[in-house]
């Protein structure tokens, strides 16, 4: 029996946060790509599939047909490739020349070859201002010239989890299919309700407590920068509020999100499981790597329920169009 589920591919998959979200929205993953071996291990243990490796080595023609392309691609500087470089690659992509040598180029060549009906690209908020806005301009021009109408917005994960996490989302719909008239709106974000206490464990191993040496260093570092009028320093999370953005560098000292343990004990880091909750991962999600790798993985990941809300809006827009298209084909009875 043929499945009616929308098929999607998961590029720069990390540990599968985007996949979880699109599966919850009713999608079926048919391909994934992730080069980091530790992220691959986590992905395999949670989805039973080992992602393909380095995307730069993947032939776009070998990628399965799909309805939606999903990618949280890294941000890199763009430079116009030379003629010799283009010839050596054996590719003649015209306006795509501007993105060669960047990982966005690999997303663009797959979109060009496979023509998904829609895509979702996620990146850091600063993508818009990166390289004086040139990077973002090239990305948007490239996608529009490929024949996609764009919807772009910066959204904050704090509406779903107790974490201030702003990311830019670029949604595209194939103009050959939708004609630029797709009925897509970004999700309405309700007032944040989650608090740090909602993700914290009552009892935590003492290994997560900061040593006296590290705690003293962080306090001295913060005091030094405060005296200079800078805002650098550690962040003690308000248990009744939200925390700073969890980053991939959290494994180093945990300074951006520390949890108070009272006056008689040094603050502590979050545990990997608490980091998972902070990104909206379910309790059933398996953490199968070291704490250091887990911190990197969750710091690089996405707020799963936010992506799910966006995915549902995308799927709804695609289903509405399909329904209207079917309705147009119905014979008129007089």
CATH number at residue 167: 3.40.50.150
- pLDDT of amino acid 325: 59
pTM: 0.89
Domain-embedded: residue 191: no
Evaluate whether residue 267 is within a structural domain.
yes
Among 185, 136, 194, 121, CA closest to 164 = 194
| Catalytic (active site) residue 243 | no
One domain, residues 55 and 177 = yes
Residues 178 and 204 in one domain: no
- For residue 190, give both structure tokens: 């309700």
Regarding whether 182 and 238 lie in a shared domain, the answer is no
218, 245, 263, 296 from 300: Cα distances, Å? 23, 11, 32, 6
Our count of domains for the chain comes to 2
Do 271 and 137 lie in one domain? The reply is no
**Is residue 13, in this structure, part of any structural domain at all?**
yes
Whether 233 and 272 share a structural domain: yes
Q: What is the pLDDT along the chain (334 residues), one digit of tens a residue?
A: 345 789 999 999 999 999 999 999 999 999 999 999 999 999 999 999 999 999 999 999 999 999 999 999 887 766 544 333 444 445 444 556 677 778 999 999 999 999 999 999 999 998 888 888 888 999 999 999 999 999 999 999 999 999 999 999 999 999 999 999 999 999 999 888 899 999 999 999 999 999 999 999 999 988 887 766 666 678 999 999 999 999 999 999 999 999 999 989 999 999 999 999 999 999 999 999 999 999 999 999 999 999 999 999 999 999 887 655 544 444 444 3
Identify whether residues 173 and 28 lie together within a single domain: yes
Find the catalytic residue in 29, 75, 243, 275.
Answer: 75
Quote the pLDDT of residue 323: 54
Do residues 32 and 178 share a domain?
yes
pLDDT at position 85: 42
Q: Are residues 166 and 74 in the same domain?
A: yes
The pLDDT score that the predictor gives to residue 329 is 46
pLDDT of residue 131: 82
The reply to whether 51 and 17 lie within a common domain is yes
Judge if 288 and 160 occupy the same domain.
no
Sign of CA dihedral 92, 168, 308, 326: negative
Domain range for 287: 196-299
Q: At what angle do helices 134-145 and 103-114 cross, to 10 degrees?
A: 10
Residue whose C-alpha is closest to residue 110's, from 130, 87, 93: 93
Are 210 and 154 in a shared domain? no
Identify whether 314 is part of a domain. Answer: yes
In whole angstroms, give the CA distance from residue 206 to residue 29.
40
């Amino acid at each position: 029996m043929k499945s009616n589920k929308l098929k999607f591919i998961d590029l720069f998959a990390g540990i599968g946060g985007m996949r979880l979200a699109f599966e919850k929205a009713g999608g079926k993953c048919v391909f994934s790509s992730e080069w980091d071996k530790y992220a691959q291990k986590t992905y395999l243990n949670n989805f039973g599939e080992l992602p393909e490796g380095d995307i730069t080595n993947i032939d776009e023609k070998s990628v399965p047909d799909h309805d939606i392309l999903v990618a949280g691609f890294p941000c890199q500087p763009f430079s116009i490739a030379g003629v010799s470089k283009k010839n050596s690659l054996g590719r003649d992509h015209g306006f795509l020349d501007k993105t060669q040598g960047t990982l966005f180029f690999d997303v663009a060549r797959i979109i060009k070859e496979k023509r998904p009906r829609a895509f979702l690209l996620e990146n850091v908020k600063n993508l818009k201002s990166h390289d004086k806005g040139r990077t973002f301009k090239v990305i948007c021009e490239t996608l529009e010239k490929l024949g996609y109408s764009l919807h772009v917005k910066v959204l904050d994960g704090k509406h779903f989890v107790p974490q201030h996490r702003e990311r830019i989302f670029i949604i595209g719909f194939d103009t050959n299919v939708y004609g630029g008239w797709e009925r897509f709106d970004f999700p309405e974000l309700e007032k944040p309700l989650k608090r740090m206490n909602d993700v914290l464990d009552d009892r935590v191993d003492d290994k997560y407590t900061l040593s006296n040496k590290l705690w003293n260093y962080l306090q001295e570092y913060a005091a030094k920068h405060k005296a200079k009028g800078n805002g650098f320093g550690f962040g003690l999370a308000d248990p009744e509020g939200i925390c700073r953005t969890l980053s991939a560098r959290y494994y180093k000292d945990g300074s951006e999100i520390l949890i108070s343990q009272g006056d008689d004990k040094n603050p502590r880091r979050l545990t990997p499981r608490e980091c998972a909750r902070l990104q909206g991962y379910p309790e059933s999600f398996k953490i199968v790597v070291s704490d250091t790798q887990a911190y990197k993985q969750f710091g690089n990941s996405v707020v799963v329920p936010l992506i799910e809300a966006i995915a549902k809006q995308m799927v709804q827009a695609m289903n509405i169009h399909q329904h209207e298209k079917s309705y147009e084909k119905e014979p008129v009875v007089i």
